[in-house]
Structure 1
């Protein structure tokens, strides 16, 4: 029989909930630095050890971000971003599976936020688990990869505002399809890729999505500002044209920032 951990004591639960309530209730503003541990402990009516554990828990839940040597800060986004996907059927030519990304943009606007995309392009060897799906050889550089870092900023924010990292997207395109086409142009965004595939004669006919929850990889944790107690949602989206998979996008989201819902219409 395992013993309860100290962090599960009534005192810890009380302090952790008080800290959650203070953060979500507006006692501390988004982006504000929390008081130092000793002062915060006094405000919470407890000792420093319990306070520090409560701060770590709140950080794991995504309510706070911690910076070594700088303290703890309230997360700039406290509400979940909805990603609502309708049935992956009846897709107009050149569109995304269901207009999901456009819908996310609308959800962000409703939250007073706007997205900023920072894409980079490279030619690489396809990951082993994707090479067969994309129908490419497993040797040499065989895919065009767009890596896009997505930030959310308050609407009207200054260009220097770093915003909050909310998504990391890696899109893989078979090189025999993408090389020498508009898919290699520097102005491509995740909103454009499937439309450009359609223009090149690869009109999407089927979409699949797979979702898993896992710990972040080191580079993902660094970009998304996560610690080892956080989790990410990995969404793998495949686009098929005819009998071939022509695009695979692997999106990584901080689990505490997003909610996912799907809707289908009965036939």
Structure 2
């Protein structure tokens, strides 16, 4: 009996509902006895399920079937929920707690950000970093870049941006975002993202780069968003 065979049996039991979300799987000792295998074989079989995202390990308690209750990040035009504990808007619309981590009124942009925002040499950006939490678990980390010529000296450069969030302030300044483009990439996380989102190494993330445009097509904000892929479902409408 191989580790792959053990994983196959347990996977089938999970999919059939024999083991439901939140249920504890047999221990290494139980698998050793049931299958007549060494501890390392049993352990590898369990780790294969964890690598697939089907289970979670609770140290001191065992291995449990993972419950996937995704947060829907809706990009179909629904309004986000701004009833969070800070004035920053929860862009997922899921009512998550949003924590503003840092705000830099004027910073030197990377060449990529400069080109994406159409900035001239020497122009600065205003940078906002924030963390979205589901209960106390970080699930989304976002960094937004806006032309400092628009944002510096406004509430956008303050710790608390005010009701309605950054887009409301842009609208008040005559730079209302009316069109958005998102590029989505699934990938493995960096060490820093593992720490920021408190995820297990090997857990994939979704990397979203969102560009906001004004009515005349001018880019007014670039947001880099990293989401725990085990926590989210992205929703888009395609077609008219």
Q: TM-score range by the shorter chain?
A: 0.7 to 0.9
Which range moved further: 128-137 or 244-253?
128-137
SS, match of residue 80 in structure 2: helix
Indicate if the aligned counterparts of 2:53 and 2:66 stay in contact, CA closer than 8 A. Answer: no
Matching residue of 1:26: 22
The whole-number CA distance in structure 2 between the counterparts of 1:50 and 1:189 is 55
Pair 1:229 & 2:202 matched: yes
Q: How many residues align?
A: 227
Matching residue of 2:179: 206
- Out of 43, 53, 59, which is 2:44 matched to? 53
TM-score using structure 1 length: 0.69
- Out of 205, 215, 222, which is 2:188 matched to? 215
Displacement of 1:171: 0.9
Question: Which blocks of at least 5 consecutive residues in structure 1 are unaligned?
Answer: 1-5, 29-33, 87-97, 109-113, 154-162
SS, match of residue 193 in structure 2: helix
Give the root-mean-square deviation of aligned CA atoms. Answer: 3.5
Matching residue of 1:148: 130
- Out of 99, 117, 129, which is 1:118 matched to? 99
The whole-number CA distance in structure 1 between the counterparts of 2:79 and 2:41 is 42
Displacement of 1:50: 3.5
Matching residue of 1:31: none
The whole-number CA distance in structure 1 between the counterparts of 2:46 and 2:134 is 24
Question: Which blocks of at least 5 consecutive residues in structure 2 are unaligned?
Answer: 83-89
Matching residue of 2:86: none
Change (3 A) 1:26 1:229: closer
Indicate if the aligned counterparts of 2:23 and 2:64 stay in contact, CA closer than 8 A. Answer: no
Residue pairs, 1:36-185, within 5 angstroms: 38-39=28-29, 41=31, 47=37, 48-65=39-56, 78-86=68-76, 98-99=77-78, 101-102=80-81, 108=94, 114-119=95-100, 120-122=102-104, 123-137=106-120, 142-153=124-135, 163-185=136-158
SS, match of residue 194 in structure 1: helix
